[in-house]
Amino acid sequence: MVLEDQVEGEYLVVCLRERRLDAVIAAGFREAMLERIELGQHKIVLDLSSVGFLDSSGLGAVVAVLKHLGQRGCLYLCGVTPAVMAVLRLTRMDRVFRTFPTRAAALAA
Amino acid sequence: MADDAILKLLVPATLPAARDATERLMALGQRFDEINRALYETAVMEWLVNIVKHSYVPADGGSIRLVAQAGPQELHLVIEDRGRGLSAKQFEAAASQIHFDPQVIADLPDSGMGLAILKSVMDSLLYEQQQGINRLIAVKRWSG
């Protein structure tokens, strides 16, 4: 699994360079993201522009990251593809996450 | 893909094999629009992951059989495994709708959504256990 980090002001932008965020990588993704939070990164933009497939395990991992952050910070999603947005809508998680078309839009929020 | 095209797969009950099977299955899903194709693939993955994680005892070497047939109106899929499976009651309970308050982050579900997704996506879903075989029959129309 490839995660690319970039610090943009007070935000950490994490880009998941995988076609699929699914049960195969969900646990590793979750642990890697929680590690970043424990290191003090509490404002995170997750760039999903490479991800064309999301299942409930992958979604659960993203939810777990949000829950771990709690009131300490924020988690924005950007570059959400139509396939990923369809799963967010089906599960009503589109009402939970703030999504942005681009990384720049998320950073300007 | 012509009507009545059939795909038969026998795969090991592992997560990478489940991923590979769903990707291969989607060769028959070309007639779905983009959104329904994505949701269909997710729904099938949910059931396969459920088998891998919950039906078979870990690392017991189980397998999963998939038979998909593209008809004129729909994609018909049968998935079988020989693990513990779910009772009909467990299946219905697990496949119930996802309930949460989007404003209460601490209570958001981070697991247990898979079968609800499966149920939401498919037009018809039948689950049965017969002679040691757990069988899911899922139908989704090409449109609508």
- How far apart CA B71 and CA B93 sit, in angstroms, is 30
For residues A74-78, average pLDDT: 97
CB contact under 8 A, A67 and B120: no
> Alpha carbon of B72 to those of A98, B22, B41, B53: distances in Å?
40, 21, 19, 34
Cα A68 to Cα B53: distance, rounded to the nearest angstrom: 24
**Given CB atoms, is B5 within the 8 Å cutoff of chain A?**
no
Domain count, chain A: 1
Distance from the Cα of B72 to chain A's closest Cα (Å) equals 25
In this complex, which of A82, A91, A96 lies closest to B113 when CB atoms are compared?
A91
Give the model's pLDDT for residue B99. 87
- A61: nearest Cα among A12, A15, A28, A104: A28
- Whether B35 and chain A come into contact, CB under 8 Å, resolves to yes
* DSSP code of residue B51: I
Element (H, E) at B11: strand B5-12
**Mean model confidence pLDDT for chain B:** 92
Q: What is the per-residue pLDDT for B36?
A: 96
Q: Per residue in B48-107, pLDDT tens?
A: 999 999 999 766 779 999 999 999 999 999 999 999 998 888 888 877 778 899 999 999
pLDDT at B92: 85
Q: How far apart are the first and last CA of chain B?
A: 20
Q: List chain B residues with CB under 8 Å of A66.
A: 105, 108
SS3 A16: strand
CATH number (domain holding residue A86): 3.30.750.24
Task: Please determine, for the modelled complex, whether the ipTM score is greater than 0.90.
Answer: yes
Q: Which residues pair with B136 in a beta bridge?
A: B79, B127
Check residue B3 and give its pLDDT. 62
At the second CATH level, the architecture of B5-141 is 2-Layer Sandwich (3.30)
* B144: three-class secondary structure by DSSP: coil
Please indicate whether, in this complex, the C-beta atoms of B49 and A53 are within 8 angstroms of each other.
Answer: no
A62: closest chain B residue by CA: B110
Give this prediction's pTM: 0.94
Q: What confidence tens digit (pLDDT) does each residue in A43-75 have?
A: 999 999 999 999 999 999 999 999 999 989 999
Asked if B26 contacts B42 with a C-beta cutoff of 8 angstroms, the reply is: no
- Asked if B105's CB is within 8 angstroms of A56's CB, the reply is no
Q: Are strands A53-54 and A20-21 parallel, antiparallel or unpaired?
A: parallel
